[in-house]
Amino acid sequence: MHNKIISSGYSKTYIAKNLQCNGENIVSFIAQNGRNSEKMLKILDRKGANVSITDLAMNSPKQ
């Protein structure tokens, strides 16, 4: 991932703030779906990005 970021010409901060995957910012997407999310999040240096995770099961109305 680090090499792809470098070759893209964009900064890690720019990518963390502006790149989206499936309608989510990249940091949230990695946190929820990444195989090695801790390592990838360290590469992006999460200082400039906000992450919000919603537990859908807790927000569903009980039947």
What is this structure's pTM?
0.54
Contact 43, 2 (CB under 8 A): yes
CA gyration radius for the chain?
14
Count of structural domains, the chain: 1
Domain coverage including residue 28: 2-59
Per-residue pLDDT for 48 more than 60? no
- Rounded to 5 degrees, what angle do the CA atoms 24, 53, 34 make? 65
Per-residue pLDDT for 15 more than 60? yes
Mean pLDDT over 16-44 rounds to 84
Identity of residue 40: M
